[in-house]
A and B are shown apart, each in its own frame.
Chain A
Amino acid sequence: MKIIKLLMLSVAILFLIFAQNNLDPYTVSILNNIAIFGILALSYNLINGVAGQFSLEPNGFVAIGAYVTALLILPASSKIDMFALEDPAPIILAMHTSFLPALLMSGIVAAVLAFILSIPVFRVRGDYLAIVTLGFGFIIRIFAMNQTKYTNGAMGLNDIPDNANLLWTGGIIIVTFIVMLNVIYSKYGRAMKAVRDDEDAATAMGINTFWIKTYAFMTSAFFEGVGGGLMASLLTTISPDQFTFLLTFQLLIIIVLGGLGSMSGTLIGAVLVMGGTEWLRFLDQNMDIFGYNTGAHPGLRMVVFSILLIIMMLFARRGIFGNKELTDMFKRGKK
């Protein structure tokens, strides 16, 4: 099995190097998109699918990650030029690191916030997590809008150095995938699944459900922060309006389609949903149906996706992979 895994890993890395150097920019941008949403969805699936705690926070943590990375890798001179509404705070000017520490910092800040949030939220049963995390996403946006000293308000940040490329995004999605699989197959992962399936029974078995949920939430937040940092550097411009609930909704579709609790499924879900978003672009634009112009309908794609989500939940709740991994299927085939 080890050899197969190493082989898959090297094929993936070779593909990334090949794609970065040889494919046209449009394809590369789609691949980048898939990779970033893949990273976010993988980590989102840990808390939603594996630990069974329904949360709606990714847009909040992605925003935090994006802002932290952007502010860390922007040089001080361009910050001074850019902050139009208010002069930047001294600490904003002082902080500057290279790309990798900035990404790690994004993850750490997100994880610390996740810890703080988990204290009130996990005192009660899971549903509150959904509404508090949804509110958290709004609060982050409100702060990003109003703390002009730190975030430049609604104008957002521009000219962020474009350190990220397909090697970064692809490399990090591979790391995320490996880490997530290792978490799932560790004793913590099994405890998370126990909490998901029956919280009372898990407590009776001596699992500290509070810590297991918090652990899942923090791990998930860390990678969402890192993904946000990558997104900032890839897009080179961020503003509070990018991090709306729409982002969370797309991730939700990805993990539901791939199968809640399956990391391999999430990867496939990311390819299908992000590819599908690109493919369905025509829905939002002018269409001529039998000579009748329908006019532009921004948002029609999202109607399609929300119907897809409801249908998936009603008729195919397990998604493509259920909560199995690709490797589980190999194992079963061997027996």
Chain B
Amino acid sequence: MDISTFVQQMINGISLGSMYALIAIGYTLVYGVLRLINFAHGDIMMVGAFVAYLAQNAGIPFELAVILAIIAAMVTGILTDKIAYKPLRNAPKISLLITAIGISFFLENLFNVLFGGVPRAFSAPDYLTKIIHYDGIIVPVTVIIIPVVTLILLFIILWILNKTKYGMAIRSLAFDIPTVKLMGINADIIIMLVFAIGSALAAIGGIFYAVSYPSIDPLMGVIVGLKAFAAAVLGGIGSVAGAVIGGFILGFTEIVVVAFMPDLGGYKDAFAFIFLILVLLFKPTGIMGQDLDRSRF
């Protein structure tokens, strides 16, 4: 194992970890506010990637297609909340989880019917797919761009959460929804904002995913979504910084194991869940989390 391969794999790990982190933030925000595992989140990522693909096919330049994809994902996320989750705010949690599964399955199969299950090639502009050769390290530009964009987005999210009025409202919703309503805050608008932020990040994550593994299909969100959720739990669900840390740990592990232990390559998709089970066994609150289960009592 020479040093350049090692560095190259580290860069790949950071890049994969950033994608998981972007998607995990959406899970952690929604879970923090509604205590709901938004099963449809991975599929919202898929919607984002598909809209970017379709827009590019229609001749729209990549940059504009990305913006359209983000808007489409935000609309999907907000509509999901309005149609499927909002009427059930006071229902037993099991009903919410079932509708979440329903939405997830609906999106997957709708796209399957409309566009077919065959993977489609995703094209990106040259400046993203260019390959850098530097001292024996060979990486595509995307691998560098993804972590940078992720960090910028992370700072924006943390700024919104910690420095703005809306962020304060989101954080207070995580403690107690009825009290927040008594304070004169429109909880529905804030929840909508949470879904919008989460879905926008998912769309960006989805486009990154589509650019790095240049193909998309209607089921692409399932496994990535599950892994991102595992990352969010690993980092401590409810904590944005935790989601990012969890995403990076998961991304690194996958790359390292596949690169250095090729025999285990076939089991790559299983690591996330093994992590998840270990975290639940030894530290259910994750790395950064607090005990959300009990904080409402």
Contacts and interface: CB of A to CB of B under 8 A. Distances in A.
Given A130-B37, A245-B222, A139 B101 contact: no
B92 A52 contact: yes
A145 B281 CA distance: 27
B200 to A, nearest CB: 23
Contact of B113 (A54, A134, A200, A303): A303
B226 A138 contact: yes
Interface string A296-321: 01111011011101100110010000
Contacts of B276: 131-132, 135
B280 A306 contact: no
Given A130-B97, A249-B105, A310-B106, A317 B91 contact: yes
Interface in B67-93: 83-84, 87-88, 91-93
A313 B88 contact: yes
Max count, chain A CB within 10 A of own CB: residue among B39, B98, B110, B230: B98
A120 B95 contact: no
Given A123-B284, A314-B84, A314-B87, A299 B112 contact: yes
A309 B39 CA distance: 15
B129 interface: no
Given A249-B105, A306-B109, A310-B102, A120 B266 contact: no
A317 B102 contact: no
A252 to B, nearest CB: 7
A131 B226 contact: yes
Contacts of A132: 273, 276-277, 280
Contacts of B230: 131, 135
B284 A310 contact: no
Where chain A touches its partner, the secondary structure class is helix
Nearest to B281: A120
Contacts of B37: 127, 130-131
B269 A142 contact: yes
B272 A300 contact: no
Given A119-B281, A146-B266, A126 B273 contact: no
B261 interface: no
Contact of A297 (B101, B113, B270): B113
Interface string B255-296: 000000000001101101110111011001000000001000
Contacts of A260: 94
Nearest to A310: B102
Contacts of B93: 54, 126-127
Contacts of B222: 245
Given A121-B280, A131-B226, A252 B106 contact: no
A125 interface: yes
B109 A303 contact: yes
A56 interface: yes
Contact of B229 (A56, A121, A131, A303): A131
A310 B103 CA distance: 7
Nearest to A138: B269
A310 B39 CA distance: 13
B99 A136 contact: no
What are the 4 A-B residue pairs with the smallest beta carbon separation, nearest first? A135-B273, A306-B106, A309-B102, A146-B266
Given A302-B105, A307-B102, A313-B88, 17 more contacts: A120-B278, A120-B281, A127-B37, A128-B280, A130-B39, A132-B273, A136-B273, A138-B223, A138-B270, A143-B267, A143-B270, A299-B109, A302-B112, A303-B110, A309-B102, A313-B99, A314-B99
11 contacts: A123-B280, A135-B226, A135-B272, A138-B269, A138-B270, A142-B269, A143-B270, A145-B266, A249-B101, A249-B105, A252-B98
